[in-house]
Amino acid sequence: MKNPSRLFPAALGAALTVLCLLASPVRAADGGLQSLRGAAIQAPETEAADPFKNMKDSTPIERNYVQQPPLIPHKVDGYTVTMKYNKCMDCHAWNRYKETGATKVSLTHFKTRDGQELSNISPRRYFCQQCHVPQVDAKPLVGNQFKPAQGMR
Amino acid sequence: MENDNKNAGKRGLTARAWAWLKGIGIVSALGLFAAGVIFWGGFNTVLELTNREAFCISCHEMKDNVYMEYQNTIHYSNRSGVRATCPDCHVPKEWVPKMIRKIQASNEVLHKILGSIDTPEKFNAKRLTLAEHEWERMKRTDSRECRNCHNFEYFDYGIQGRRASATHQAAFDKGQTCIDCHKGIAHKLPEVNQSIGAINEEGAPPQIFHPPTAADKKD
């Protein structure tokens, strides 16, 4: 042990390893989770949520109130809307609906926020699923007594 | 007389082949044969190796762009667990078209080395061209690779959605093919000119994105 400096790196390494082990916040014994004050958290095993079951494609669904955005009566898996391409407009645009048999977008969709009429879909209507949603086969989470508007029954 | 001559010619050929074999010696003949086997085996192994998904996405150009997008699609994950991998859609199964595609792919490897699409920006700039090549190829082959798995003669129109069922029956009568309608089935689409604003005016034009059918052309 004439030259203690040789031992230094080894000792430092060992010390660091021990420190890491001690300081490691995730320890197997308590399930891996800890609150800020150090108590163990026993997270219950969560089950994966049931995947939503798409409704079968249908004819247009009746509307329930005035100015309601109609519900989407078909599946929309993989229908992407990007800056470069709007999948919905590939069937619902005025120059496409005849070929695809879809309802054409209404003229209200051509108007900008400032009331200016454009020659096609307005930017504020570009993301269809902000307003139009597909339906899934699921029990309502909360009961309600909603009745369609008088004129629409 | 003619027959005799032919036979004589044949015999002559066999005799000459034997002579040649003796000339080079039986050992070298066997050696040649073995070399042939090894070459063919190696050739097929390389072909096999380059026909796996892992090879296709071993370069980041493919991994970071098309592969990521493909992971969100039905051909990557679906209820029955049958997957379509990159070569299923992009490499023909038949020998001759497969060889042609492989030789074209060497050009793509060259461009990989040149770095033609090595950033997402460069890839996106080239994307429309690349997609148009694939559309054209699939159109030319009547979407052969799709039909390797999907046979429209066995479509059960009672189970298909109403839109699919109605569209398909009309389309196949008109001689349309899968890629006419199912573009962007595995990846994000490049820019498409849908006449919405000025931004995508340079994108895929309508006549390419929805090619007219034979019936349309007649009118």
Q: Is B71 part of any domain?
A: yes
User: Given this model, what pLDDT does residue A20 score?
Assistant: 43
Please tell me whether residues B36 and B144 are part of one structural domain: no
Based on the fold, state whether residues A15 and A72 are members of the same structural domain: no
Q: Which residues of B are less than 8 Å from A121 in CB distance?
A: 196
In-domain check, residue B39 = yes
In whole angstroms, give the CA distance from residue B83 to residue B88.
9
Minimal Cα distance from A118: which residue of B? B197
Contacts of B184 in chain A (CB under 8 A): 80, 85, 87
A81 and A60: one domain?
yes
- Is A147 contained in some domain? no
Give the integer Cα–Cα distance in Å for A95 and B196. Answer: 11
Domain annotation covers residue A152:
no
- Using an 8 Å CB-CB cutoff, list chain B residues near A80: 184, 188
Identify the residue whose tokens are 């996405």.
Answer: B57
* Domain co-membership, B94 together with B33: no
Is residue B64 domain-shared with residue B137, that is, in the same domain? yes
Same domain, A100 and A28: no
pLDDT, position A31: 56
Do A135 and A71 contact (CB within 8 A), yes or no? yes
A27-50: pLDDT as tens digits:
434 456 777 888 877 766 666 666
What is the model's pLDDT at position A11? 59
Does some domain include residue A122? Answer: yes
B130 lies in the same domain as B164: yes
CA separation for the pair A123, A116 (Å, rounded): 12
Reported as a single tens digit per residue, the pLDDT across B120-149 is: 888 889 999 999 999 999 999 999 999 999
Look at residues B105, B119, B1 and name the one whose alpha carbon lies nearest to residue B46.
B105
pLDDT confidence of residue B185: 94
Give the residues across from A72 on adjacent strands.
Answer: A134
Predicted TM-score of the model (pTM): 0.83
- Say if B66 falls within a structural domain: yes
Of B73, B161, B203, the CB nearest to A74: B161
Mean pLDDT of chain B: 85
Dihedral pair phi/psi, residue B82, rounded to 5°: -85, 120
Shared domain check, A88 and A70: yes
pLDDT at residue B101 is higher than 90 = no
Residues B125 and B128: their CA atoms lie apart, in Å, by: 7
Q: Which of B149, B200, B201 is nearest to B178 (CA)?
A: B149
Asked if residue B120 and residue B79 are part of one domain, the reply reads yes
Same domain, B44 and B95: no
Tokens of A65: 């109130």
B36 in the same domain as B130: no
Can you give the residue range of the structural domain that contains A82?
A: 49-137
Closest partner residue to A57 (CB to CB) among B161, B194, B203 is: B161
Split into its structural domains, chain A has a count of: 2
For residue range A91-134, list pLDDT tens digits in order: 999 999 999 999 999 999 999 999 999 999 999 999 999 999 99
What tokens does B189 get?
């689409």
Residue A7 is predicted with a pLDDT of 61
Could you tell me if residue A61 is inside a domain? Answer: yes
Residues B118, B43 share a domain: no
What residues have CB less than 8 Å from B132, skipping those under 6 apart? B204, B208
Nearest to A57 among B163, B199, B206 (CB): B163
Domains held by chain B: number: 2
Of A56 and B2, more confident: A56
Please tell me which of A17-31, A44-58, A79-93 the model is most confident about, judged by mean pLDDT.
Answer: A79-93
Q: Is residue B214 part of a domain?
A: no
CB < 8 Å to B194, chain A: 85-86, 89-90, 93, 120
CATH code for position A128: 1.10.1130.10
- The residues with which A34 forms a beta bridge, in sequence order, are A40
Provide φ and ψ at B178, rounded to 5°.
-45, -50
* ipTM rounded to 2 decimals: 0.76
Report the alpha-carbon distance of residue B195 to residue B205 in Å, rounded. Answer: 9
Together in a domain, B41 and B137: no
Residues B28 and B118 in one domain: no
Q: What are phi and psi of A134, to 5 degrees?
A: -80, 170
Do A55 and A42 sit in the same domain of this protein?
Answer: no
Q: Which residues have C-beta within 8 Å of that of residue B218, sequence separation ≥ 6?
A: none
**Runs of H (alpha helix) within chain B:** 2-24, 26-49, 53-56, 60-62, 68-70, 86-90, 95-114, 120-140, 144-149, 162-173, 178-181, 206-209, 214-218
Taking only the tens place, the pLDDT of each residue in B49-60 is: 777 788 888 877
Instruction: Read off φ and ψ for residue B190, nearest 5 degrees.
Output: -75, 180
Same domain, B147 and B125: yes
Residue B181 lies in domain: 60-187
Give the SS3 label for residue B150: coil
Paired tokens of B33: 């044969």
